[in-house]
């Protein structure tokens, strides 16, 4: 199998093309190939597939073999890949995902290749049972959750995949390994959840660290950055445009008041090409 290794702010993926549909062994391959010691090493295995609704379809297998409905960093990588490799010629394209449907993407070029990508991430889902959580409220904001005797307060947002945003004094030094997996699998989240720890620095800047569902701590999470901005607007702590600073770099997020869509702008990078026996 030929592959290309790519990353968006350090959130890294094995990109595969040429398959007519998602292979039956995709989950098994993701576990094997994403292993950083016995495989290629990545946060996820991503297939670029044909689509009847958009220019391409993206399917994302997490490193634990589960499938992610959506991934903001992966969609930037996929968008860069299809343009840089001549699979499409225009700079406005569309990518289909299983969680967020068809998403429109704008490509910004430098020296003939994609430098940054702006993605229309769609409208956030805020109703508690649709995120999903077990909380039946139209907006789940500053809601208490207890883990091992410690109380956190979270805001729930779906960007095609579920997130809980938790404000802390020091997100950068948050103990992700301790609290991430316990929150991810909490009974309040029936399909598990991505966990963002956030420290707001100003009306247009916040630090975020993430524990990703199915992958653990990653250097960046695009949908998590989008969820963070939405939660921060709902909690009145940022404006509708802000830079979200992740361990791997920064993303610029906008929540448009007119169309209610969230827009994410950030880089994507190709690292190397290779082949592996499967």
* Chain segment 10-63, per-residue pLDDT in tens: 999 999 999 999 999 999 999 999 999 999 999 999 999 999 999 999 999 999
pLDDT grade for 111, boundaries at 50, 70 and 90: very high
Active-site residue identified among 34, 71, 77, 226: 71
Residue 260 annotated as part of some ligand binding site: no
pTM to 2 decimals? 0.94
Query: For 150-194, what is each residue's pLDDT tens digit?
Result: 999 999 999 999 999 999 999 999 999 999 999 999 999 999 999
User: What does the block give as tokens for 193?
Assistant: 């959840």
pLDDT digits (tens, 9 = 90+) for 72-92: 999 999 999 999 999 999 999
Best CA proximity match to 36, nearest among 215, 248, 270, 182: 215
Whether 210 and 218 have beta carbons less than 8 Å apart is answered as yes
Active site annotation includes 221: yes
Alpha carbon separation from 91 to 40, 111, 209 (Å, rounded): 30, 14, 31
256 is in an annotated binding site: no
pLDDT in the model for residue 147 = 97
Domains of the chain: 2-121+266-275 (3.10.310.10), 128-260 (3.10.310.10)
Q: What is the helix (H) or strand (E) element at residue 268, kind and residue range?
A: none
Helices (H), the chain: 26-34, 72-84, 176-184, 222-234
> What pLDDT, on a 0 to 100 scale, did the predictor assign at position 55?
98
β-bridge pairing 101-110 and 113-120: antiparallel
- Which residue among the candidates 34, 77, 221, 226 is catalytic per the annotation? 221
**Amino acid 76: pLDDT:** 98
Q: Does residue 173 have a known ligand-binding role?
A: no
Half-sphere CA count of 85, side-chain side, radius 13 A: 17
DSSP state of 130: G
pLDDT for the residue 194: 97
**Residues 211-246: tens digit of each pLDDT:** 999 999 999 999 999 999 999 999 999 999 999 999
Q: Report the SS3 class of residue 184.
A: helix
72 labeled part of a ligand binding site: yes
Q: What average pLDDT does this structure show over 249-256?
A: 98
Instruction: Report how far residue 109's alpha carbon sits from residue 106's, in angstroms, rounded to the nearest whole number.
Output: 10
Annotated binding residue at 161? yes
Q: So what's the pLDDT on residue 239?
A: 98
226 carries an active-site annotation = no
213 is known to lie in a ligand binding site: yes
For the range 187-191, what are the long-range contacts, defined as Cβ-Cβ under 8 Å and sequence gap of 24 or more?
A: 187/134, 188/133, 188/134, 188/135, 188/145, 189/132, 189/133, 189/134, 189/162, 189/164, 190/132, 190/133, 190/134, 191/132, 191/162
Residue 178 CA to residue 182 CA, distance in Å, equals 7
- Note the pLDDT of residue 124: 98
- What is residue 13's predicted lDDT score, i.e. its pLDDT? 98
Contact 80, 108 (CB under 8 A): no
| Cα–Cα distance for residue pair 209/206, rounded to 1 Å | 10
**222 annotated ligand binder:** yes
């Amino acid at each position: 199998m030929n592959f290309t290794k790519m990353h968006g702010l350090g959130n890294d993926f094995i990109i595969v093309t040429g398959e007519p549909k998602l292979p039956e062994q995709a989950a098994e391959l993701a576990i094997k190939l994403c292993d950083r010691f016995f495989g290629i090493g990545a946060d996820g295995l991503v297939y670029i597939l044909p689509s009847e609704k958009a220019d391409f379809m993206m399917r994302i297998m997490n490193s634990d073999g589960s499938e992610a409905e959506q991934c903001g960093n992966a969609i930037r990588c996929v968008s860069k890949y299809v343009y840089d490799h001549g699979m499409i010629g225009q700079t406005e394209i569309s990518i289909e995902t299983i969680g967020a449907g068809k998403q429109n993407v704008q490509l910004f070029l430098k020296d003939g290749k994609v430098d940054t990508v702006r993605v229309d991430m769609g409208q956030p889902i805020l109703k508690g049972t649709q995120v999903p959580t077990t909380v039946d409220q139209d907006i789940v904001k500053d809601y208490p959750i207890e883990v091992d005797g410690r109380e956190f307060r979270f805001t729930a947002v779906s960007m095609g995949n579920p997130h809980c945003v938790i404000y802390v004094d020091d997100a950068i030094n948050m103990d992700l390994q301790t609290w991430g997996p316990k929150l991810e699998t909490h009974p309040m989240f029936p399909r598990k959840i991505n966990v963002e720890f956030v420290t707001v620095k100003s009306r247009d800047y916040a630090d975020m660290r993430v524990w990703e569902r199915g992958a653990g701590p990653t250097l960046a999470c695009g949908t998590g950055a989008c969820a963070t901005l939405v939660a921060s607007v709902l909690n009145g702590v940022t404006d509708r445009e802000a830079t979200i600073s992740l361990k791997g770099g920064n993303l610029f997020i906008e929540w448009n008041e007119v169309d209610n869509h969230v827009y994410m702008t950030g880089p994507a990078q190709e690292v190397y090409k290779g082949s592996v026996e499967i």
